[in-house]
Structure 1
């Protein structure tokens, strides 16, 4: 799906998996078995890939 200069991509389960911006920057997410975002990678030409990892809290309140 395209919105302005952003292209949104979805996986086979219809969850957001990637956004590509008009300037070529790509944000990719990987999910855990429950569908929660586990990692996010930002890829831009000429710069190192930035990866952020998320972990759920040990307990849900």
Structure 2
């Protein structure tokens, strides 16, 4: 599984941290659907759910 490419500024919310939808810890990161999620958490989730495109761009 390739690493997710979240270099686009839309994946970062400098105004606030929200609980990650996967681990519950605060994060400024946002998925392409604007879900708060750490990139590492999203990559781990994708590894365990290879048929889903939940966090892919």
- TM normalised by structure 1 equals 0.24
Tell me which protein shows more helix as a share of its residues. Answer: 2
More strand, by proportion: 1
Highest relative contact order (Cα 8 Å, sep 6+), 1 or 2?
2
Q: Which has the larger radius of gyration?
A: 1
